């Protein structure tokens, strides 16, 4: 399957950049090694200047990722009703996720840590709502693309993996799962989504070159 180069590169750079940046920041600052809210907020405050730079880059990667999937859906079928609704879900979804990240960042180092803890809880709520929109939208795009029968067998398998990630994410949210189990499922799904998205982009670039 051949996509426009801008779409293919968005599907490669967006999810890959998001994963690399999040893991580098999270593990580099010790943020991912904390579970208690106050300690988590304190880590963000201790690394506030670095966090602002990292979150700008993370936001750019997330926007690129969503652009890639919106563009992908348009190239599969620009007039399909389900695809149109999916695209409408992705836009508020990414806006909510970015808003949640801004709140997760907190108000800086000159406020009581408890304020940033509260903002972190609000961030979790916005992030969950945004993730729901994104998961539903991505699942719709993946399923419709498979049913359109315009993709290769390899891409269909990759799209099925993308849909699996969305279903896993929705399952965690609907079940209200928290703690290490939810984190492990989210991380597992995130890995699947990243690998599948990047592979779709690479396959498209290789198809153009052949």
| Mean pLDDT for the stretch of residues 164-192 | 79
What pLDDT is stored for residue 122 in this prediction?
87
Highest mean pLDDT among 23-37, 140-154, 171-185: 140-154
Which residues, in sequence order, are CB contacts of 130 under 8 Å at separation 6+? Answer: 92, 93, 94, 95, 96, 97, 98, 99, 100
DSSP state letters, 168-194:
HHHHHHHTT--HHHHHHHHHHHHHHHH
Q: What is the share, in percent, of the chain residues with pLDDT greater than 90?
A: 43
Are 11 and 201 contacting, i.e. CB atoms less than 8 angstroms apart? yes
| pTM, entire model | 0.88
Average pLDDT of every residue of the chain: 86
* Higher-scoring residue by pLDDT: 79, 110: 79
- What are the CA-CA distances from residue 79 to residues 10, 60, 92, 188 (Å)? 22, 28, 20, 33
Per-residue pLDDT at 120 exceeds 80: yes
Per-residue pLDDT at 136 exceeds 90: yes
Per-residue pLDDT at 177 exceeds 70: no
Number of domains observed in the structure of the chain = 1
The two tokens of residue 108 are 């800086």
| Mean pLDDT for the stretch of residues 167-181 | 75
Are 52 and 101 contacting, i.e. CB atoms less than 8 angstroms apart? no
What pLDDT is stored for residue 35 in this prediction?
66
**Residue 180 pLDDT level (bands cut at 50, 70, 90):** low
- What are the CA-CA distances from residue 51 to residues 61, 70, 107, 114, 169 (Å)? 15, 28, 12, 18, 25
Q: Which domain holds residue 25?
A: 5-209
Which residues, in sequence order, are CB contacts of 42 under 8 Å at separation 6+? Answer: 113
| Overall residue count recorded for the chain in this entry | 210
| Mean pLDDT for the stretch of residues 68-82 | 91
- What are the CA-CA distances from residue 92 to residues 14, 33, 130, 174 (Å)? 18, 30, 7, 19
* Higher-scoring residue by pLDDT: 99, 114: 99
What pLDDT is stored for residue 161 in this prediction?
93
Per-residue pLDDT at 183 exceeds 60: yes
DSSP state of 152: -
Per-residue pLDDT at 210 exceeds 60: no
**Residue 134 pLDDT level (bands cut at 50, 70, 90):** very high
DSSP state letters, 23-61:
HHHHHHTTGGG--SHHHHHHHHHHTHHHHHHHHHHHHHH
What pLDDT is stored for residue 47 in this prediction?
85
């Amino acid at each position: 399957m051949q996509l426009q180069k801008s779409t293919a590169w968005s599907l490669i750079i967006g999810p890959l950049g998001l994963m690399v940046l999040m893991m580098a920041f999270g593990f580099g600052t010790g943020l991912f090694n904390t579970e208690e809210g106050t300690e988590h907020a304190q880590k963000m405050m201790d690394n506030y200047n670095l966090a602002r730079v990292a979150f700008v880059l993370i936001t750019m990667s997330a926007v690129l990722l969503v652009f890639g999937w919106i563009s992908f859906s348009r190239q599969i079928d620009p007039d399909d009703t389900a695809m149109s609704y999916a695209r409408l879900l992705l836009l508020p979804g990414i806006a909510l996720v970015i808003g949640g990240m801004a709140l997760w960042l907190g108000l800086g180092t000159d406020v009581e840590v408890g304020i940033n803890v509260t903002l972190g809880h609000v961030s979790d709520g916005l992030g969950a709502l945004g993730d729901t929109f994104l998961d539903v939208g991505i699942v719709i795009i993946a399923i419709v693309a498979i049913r359109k029968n315009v993709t290769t067998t390899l891409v269909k398998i990759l799209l099925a993996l993308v849909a699996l990630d969305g279903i896993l994410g929705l399952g965690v949210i609907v079940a209200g799962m928290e703690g290490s189990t939810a984190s492990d499922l989210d991380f597992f799904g995130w890995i699947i989504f990243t690998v599948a998205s990047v592979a779709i982009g690479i396959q498209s670039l290789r198809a153009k070159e052949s």
